[in-house]
Amino acid sequence: MDQLNLLSSITYIDTERSIEAGEMKIVETECNIQLYKDELVTSAAKFHVANVWDISYKSFSSDASLLYLHTHRGVLTYKIHTDPDNFVATFKKLKNENY
């Protein structure tokens, strides 16, 4: 996607767990959710804005929250470490323009 059309983005932590030599290995990778006028893009999926019904979040500690994408595929959860207020507000403003 064209970065000039990017409305907002937020960084989330993708956690991958595996067992190697009998020990659990945890790898955390920073990824972005990018909001454009017509679609929302994550590292693993792309959604048309019409198929994202809502975005909400819940803080569970002083330094981390869970961001929830409510989509036609169900609710997807992302661990974030930054304040999502701007990202959520931009999404809600975009949705209100489309309806």
Phi, psi of 82 (to 5 degrees): -115, 160
pLDDT digits (tens, 9 = 90+) for 69-98: 999 999 999 999 999 999 999 999 998 875
Per-residue tokens: 40: 């929302």
What is the reported pTM? Answer: 0.84
Q: Which CATH architecture has domain 3-98?
A: Roll (2.30)
Contact 54, 70 (CB under 8 A): yes
User: Tell me, what DSSP letter sits at residue 38?
Assistant: S
pLDDT digits (tens, 9 = 90+) for 37-77: 999 999 999 999 999 999 999 998 878 899 999 999 999 99
pLDDT digits (tens, 9 = 90+) for 21-41: 899 999 999 999 999 999 999
